[in-house]
Structure 1
Amino acid sequence: MNALAPLAERMRPRSLDAIVGQRRLLGPGAALRRALEAGRVHSMILWGPPGCGKTTLARLVAERAQARFHVISAVMSGLPEVRRVLAEAAEAFARGERTVLFVDEVHRFNKAQQDAFLPHIEAGHIVFVGATTENPSFELNSALLSRCRVHVLEAVAAEDIVAALRRALDDAEQGLGGQGITIDDGALESLAEAADGDVRRALTLLEIAAELATDGRIDEATLAQVLADRTRRFDKQGEQFYDQISALHKSVRSSDPDAALYWLARMLDGGCDPAYLARRLTRMAVEDIGLADPRALDMAISAWEAYDRLGSPEGELALAQLVLYLASCAKSNAGYVAWKAARADVAAQGTLAVPMHLRNAPTKLMKGLGYGKGYQYDHDVEGGVALDQTCLPEALEGRVYYRPLERGLELRLKEKLDALREARTQARAGRRGGQGGG
């Protein structure tokens, strides 16, 4: 190994036992480990976050298969290079040699590029190993997925990262052993936590700390310099983004203000556009709270406006307070359900005519045709509601869309509407009875 290579590359595991974490896939007795130890390799997709061991595992697959190992990056390679590599693999196959083709960032290849691998996987020219940080269900075409097994790798736990760091400190041949580097357990754990599940990142941080250390001692001051700009994993367009906004929305819906506040902080910390969050929170106020607490929508608009005026970081407090209120107040999706039901009837029933008594009659002709005939002006009726007057098209008479829940303000609305609906039902029954007796 070249001594000038980064520490993370020099310390890349050279055996299955040296890989930290991933016990579900590579622990004793695990199916993938048994297959690799027996030399039974298969085409696969390795899905996991950065620094969890995807590239290392691909190299070990090639080693166990006693195969040629070729790496291409979807970021750097185009279709001509892919075809050249596949042609070389086909020639090697004809000579009796196997090729493990490792495609890093495979999700960045378009459909045509992904399709280029299919005949070579089917013919056995290559053992295809694709690595991706994105959900394969969304990013890879079904034909490629059907020819590969998907193995999910997890972010490496902090205690496992500590073990990898200690190994680097002790290894005199490839690591930092023999350089007199000292670091206490607490500082080592801080480095592991800062790596956020990424072993490669942890080793890079350790290497930087060792270079900055005075007399080989990595102390708190050195650690503070190294970790000053630490960031957490977040993809503004990938699955992590959608997982986190889903967690925020569902925490609000579940009336868990603490969880909702945490997910808001996570997304802002990761660089999510606060204006996007303000829009989603406003949607929650309408969709999940609705008329159970109409103040929620006013607060959402006000918090959005406050952020627009204040910006970050001051405006973020307005969003935080909004999240706390939305998660804490009464919830109802009755308005949301009613709106969907009304739209479904509009789509299914076509252009139903407006009842004649509800139509305006601005001309003599329209009056003569019966427009507006029989309309009752509710303010002139005792109680303020003309109970026997229908407002829906005849085909939908009696249809109920809005069913308030017994929560928050909707409890009062429910009591009022239940009484009105019962009175209308009786009035309609009386009207039909009178018509029948005539």
Structure 2
Amino acid sequence: MNKPLAERMRPTNLENYINQTHLVGEGAPIKSMLDAKRLLSMILWGPPGTGKTTLAQLIAELSGRKFYTLSAISSGVKDVREVIDKAKNQTLFSGEGQPILFIDEIHRFNKSQQDSLLGAVEKGFITLIGATTENPSFEVVPALLSRCQVYVLKELSKVDLESLLHNAIEKDEILSQKKIELRETNALLRYSGGDARKVLNGLELVVSSFGLKEEIIITDEVVLEKIQQNMVRYDKTGEQHYDIISAFIKSIRGSDPNAAVYWLARMLEGGEDLKFIARRLLILASEDIGNANPTALILANNTFQAVSTIGYPEARIVLSQCAVYLANSPKSNSTYEAINIAQQQVRATGDLSVPLHLRNAPTKLMKDLDYGKDYKYAHAHRDNFAEQEFLPKEIAGTKFYEPGKNAREEHDRNFLKSRWKDKYNY
């Protein structure tokens, strides 16, 4: 039986490994480790389909190390210990370098599973390579994280994905035997969501639907027709992981509790990581509701804590309550937009000086230099407010925050008007 196209096109050397030159190019950290023949344990963090598994395999092949692999979805502490015992024996008796233990989706390991790796990593029985789509600061226990280098893989660009498609059509042992015209790529790219594996799987699915025909024209219409029927089931291994969570978040943002509960049920039935769902609710509570209903963030944070404490199946009730509450809440992205605009301003203007009246003056020299001079202490004035400029003079009067059009933020708008009059033009 033929391997899937994504497996057939998996690169076998660093030169063909795309878009991660900051890690594997000349002088880059992983390339330097391989050149020095000294590997350190590491966590590869990046979106799905960016080549984390491929990079781990390349590291093993290029270093000549034995390669063990476990999936955090299906492996337990017993499986980890069995692999460590094999690796320990090999390290002690063969004289070869430490074997590599690759753990896919390491963020799905609980604390006891991650703790079971610590001793082997500390004593050098294994070189650990973990792959994760989640921020390792939140999902990897501190003791293990401190013993690993964290490398961030970049999302693949449209150019990268189109290059993969054309390369497969031209060089794959099976596809190259057919006359394939890739007329349009937008549908394949949307389906992939930036995932190299998915874009190649989508191409293979479309090509196979033509049967024995040797002349194949691929358009967006053809892709949508052939792939749509394969997007019904939720795949907990990651194939539709981001499509379903996207539908879930957009349903809540769109104030539709029925759809929110449906997509939540799809994820629960598919075995999705409960903390992954809770974390997305926590982000949404601030990004999409914000100060329109500040209680939303409190409830979402309590939901995350509850889910972490009680687990499945009871956690589904807490998640449902939170999802419905957030869907029913008034929406505002004003604070999300404010920080985006402020960061753009900082990137454009650089490190502007702090105005003298706002500077701290703990020493006599600083006071002599007028640090803190003319600062108006708000509490010493009527209504605990004194009008003064708090931004650097180069951007004085710039507006970053625009209150949302909802009852809660209308109160904020009126408050700011009462203090600043026309300065903010609210």
TM bracket (short chain):
0.5 to 0.7
Q: 2:223 matched to which residue of 1?
A: 223
Match of 1:194 in 2: 191
Aligned residue type for 1:247 = E
1:247 aligns with 2:247: no
Aligned to 2:167: 167
Tell me, yes or no, if structure 1 residue 127 matches structure 2 residue 127. yes
Deviations 1:196-219 (A, max 9, x none): 110000000000110123653133
Q: Which residue of 1 aligns with 2:69?
A: 71
Query: Following the alignment from structure 1 to structure 2, what is the Cα–Cα distance between the partners of residues 252 and 18?
Result: 49
User: Does the 8 Å contact 1:332/1:407 carry over to 2?
Assistant: no
1:406, distance to aligned residue in structure 2 (A): 3.3
- Given the alignment, which residue of 199, 204, 210 partners 2:207? 210
The answer to whether the 8 A contact 1:73-1:103 is kept is: yes
The match for 2:179 is 180
Q: How far apart in 2 are the matches of 1:27 and 1:105?
A: 25
CA distance in 1, matches of 2:87, 2:9: 29
**Pairs within 5 Å for 1:7-406:** 7-94=5-92, 95-98=94-97, 99-173=99-173, 176-184=175-183, 187-213=184-210, 215-220=214-219, 221-228=221-228, 233=243, 235=245, 238=276, 242-243=282-283, 245-249=285-289, 275-281=324-330, 327-328=404-405, 405-406=415-416
Q: Any idea what SS the aligned residue of 2:143 has?
A: helix
Per-residue CA deviation, residues 374-421 of structure 1 (Å, 9 max, x unaligned), is: xxxxxxxxxxxxxxxxxxxxxxxxxxxxx972338998xxxxxxxxxx
**Does structure 1 conserve the Cα–Cα contact (< 8 Å) formed by 2:24 and 2:31?**
yes
Please give the alpha-carbon distance, in whole angstroms, between the structure 1 residues aligned to 2:41 and 2:167. 31
Output the CA distance in 1 between the equivalents of 2:410 and 2:28: 46
- Counterpart amino acid of 1:179? K
Asked whether the 8 Å contact 1:86–1:120 carries over to 2, the reply is yes
Using the TM superposition, give the Cα deviation of residue 114 of structure 1 relative to its aligned residue in structure 2, in angstroms: 0.8
Tell me the distance in 2 between the aligned counterparts of 1:90 and 1:128. Answer: 13
Kindly tell me: are residues 67 and 280 of structure 1, through their superposed partners in 2, closer, same or farther at Cα, counting changes over 3 Å? Answer: farther
CA distance in 1, matches of 2:192, 2:35: 30
Q: How many angstroms apart in 1 are the aligned matches of 2:281 and 2:17?
A: 28
Kept after mapping to 2: 8 A contact 1:39/1:64: no
How far does the alpha carbon of each residue in 1:354-382 deviate from its partner, in whole angstroms, 9 at most, with x for none? xxxxxxxxxxxxxxxxxxxxxxxxxxxxx
Q: Deviations over 1:163-191 (max 9, x none)?
A: 11111111143x5211222222xx13442
Structure 2 CA distance for aligned equivalents of residues 278 and 15 of structure 1:
48
Unaligned runs of 5+ residues in structure 2 are 232-239, 249-274, 294-319, 335-401, 422-426
Structure 1 stretch displaced more, 130-139 or 30-39: 30-39
- Aligned-residue RMSD, C-alpha: 3.6
Aligned equivalent of 2:341:
none
The separation in 2 between residues aligned to 1:59 and 1:234, in whole angstroms, is: 29
Give the TM-score normalised by the residue count of structure 1. Answer: 0.57
Report the Cα offset of residue 39 of structure 1.
2.7
Question: Would you say the 8 A contact 1:234–1:241 is kept in 2?
Answer: no
Counterpart of 1:210 in structure 2: which amino acid?
V
Q: Give, in whole Å, the separation in 2 of the partners of 1:81 and 1:144.
A: 18
Give the match's secondary structure for 2:189.
helix
Tell me: CA distance 1:162–1:133, structure 2 relative to 1, closer, same or farther (3 Å): same
1:40 Cα offset (Å): 2.6
Distance 1:35 1:240 in 2: 35
Structure 2: how far apart are the matches of 1:333 and 1:96? 71
Q: Tell me, in whole angstroms, the C-alpha distance in 1 between the residues paired with 2:153 and 2:103.
A: 16
| Aligned CA distance change for structure 1 residues 117 and 165 (closer, same or farther; 3 Å) | same
Mapped contact 1:100–1:127 kept (Cα < 8 A): yes
Q: CA deviation at 1:278?
A: 3.0
Whether the 8 Å contact between 1:165 and 1:206 is mirrored in structure 2 is yes
Aligned to 2:388: none
Provide, for residues 299-353 of structure 1, a one-character-per-residue CA deviation record: whole Å limited to 9, x for no partner: xxxxxxxxxxxxxxxxxxxxxxxxxx97346975988xxxxxxxxxxxxxxxxxx
Q: Does the 8 Å contact 1:46/1:131 carry over to 2?
A: yes
Contact 2:101 2:128 in 1 (8 A): yes
Q: What is the CA–CA distance in structure 1 between the aligned matches of 2:289 and 2:332, rounded to whole Å?
A: 10
Query: Residues 258-293 of structure 1, C-alpha deviation per residue, up to 9 Å, x if partnerless?
Result: xxxxxxxxxxxxx999734434436989xxxxxxxx
Whether the 8 Å contact between 2:288 and 2:333 is mirrored in structure 1 is: no
Max radius of gyration: which structure? 1
Q: Which runs of 5+ in 1 are unaligned?
A: 254-270, 286-324, 336-402, 412-438
Which residue in 2 is equivalent to 1:357?
none
Distance change (3 Å), C-alpha of 1:160 and 1:90: same
Matched-pair identity in %: 36
SS at match of 2:129: strand
- What secondary structure does 2:89 align onto? helix
For residues 24 and 181 of structure 2, the distance between their equivalents in structure 1, rounded to whole angstroms, comes to: 31
Task: Give yes or no for contact 1:21–1:156 (8 Å, CA) kept in 2.
Answer: yes
Number of equivalent positions: 284
Question: Retained in 2: the 8 A contact 1:330–1:408?
Answer: no
- Relative to structure 1, the CA distance from residue 210 to residue 123 in structure 2 (aligned partners, 3 Å threshold; closer, same or farther) is same
Contact 2:114 2:144 in 1 (8 A): yes
Per-residue deviation, 1:195? 1.0
Q: Scaled by the length of structure 2, what TM-score is found?
A: 0.58
d(CA) in 2 for partners of 1:127 and 1:114? Answer: 14
Q: How far, CA to CA, are the matches of 1:33 and 1:241 in structure 2?
A: 38
